[in-house]
Amino acid sequence: MISMIWAMDENWLIGKDNVLPWHYPKDLAYFKNMTKDKAVLMGDMTYLSLKGYYKTKPLPFRKNYVANINDASYPDAIHIKDLFSFLKTTEEDIFVIGGKTIYQLSLPFADRLYITYVLKTHEGNVYFPSFDLSQFKLIEKRLEDQLIFAVYERISE
Ligand SMILES: NC(=O)c1ccc[n+]([C@@H]2O[C@H](COP(=O)([O-])OP(=O)(O)OC[C@H]3O[C@@H](n4cnc5c(N)ncnc54)[C@H](OP(=O)(O)O)[C@@H]3O)[C@@H](O)[C@H]2O)c1
In the chain, which residues have pLDDT < 50?
none
Look up the CATH superfamily of 2-141: Dihydrofolate Reductase, subunit A (3.40.430.10)
Beta-sheet strands, E only, within the chain: 2-8, 13-15, 39-43, 63-67, 78-80, 94-96, 112-118, 126-127, 136-144, 147-154
Q: What is the pLDDT of residue 83?
A: 96
- pTM of structure: 0.96
Q: What is the pLDDT of residue 138?
A: 98
Q: What is the pLDDT of residue 70?
A: 86
Q: Which alpha helices (H) appear in 36-110, and where do they start and end? A: 44-54, 83-89, 100-106
Q: What is the pLDDT of residue 156?
A: 85
Please identify, by atom number, the ligand 1 atom nearest to the C-alpha of residue 13: 1
Q: Which of 84, 95, 102 to mutate to test the pocket of ligand 1 (most atoms within 8 A of CB)?
A: 102
Q: What is the pLDDT of residue 72?
A: 81
Q: What is the pLDDT of residue 132?
A: 93
Q: What b-and-e string marks burial along 20-38, b requiring 16 or more CB atoms within 10 Å of the CB?
A: bbbebeebeebbeeebeeb
For the stretch 36-70, pLDDT in tens is 999 999 999 999 999 998 989 999 999 999 999 98
Q: Which of 11, 13, 24, 46 to mutate to test the pocket of ligand 1 (most atoms within 8 A of CB)?
A: 46
Protein residue with least CA distance to atom 3, ligand 1: 6
Cα 66 to middle of ligand 1, angstroms:
9
- Could you check whether the bond before residue 99 is cis, i.e. omega within 30 degrees of 0? yes
Q: Which of 4, 45, 122, 123 to mutate to test the pocket of ligand 1 (most atoms within 8 A of CB)?
A: 45
Cα 67 to middle of ligand 1, angstroms:
8
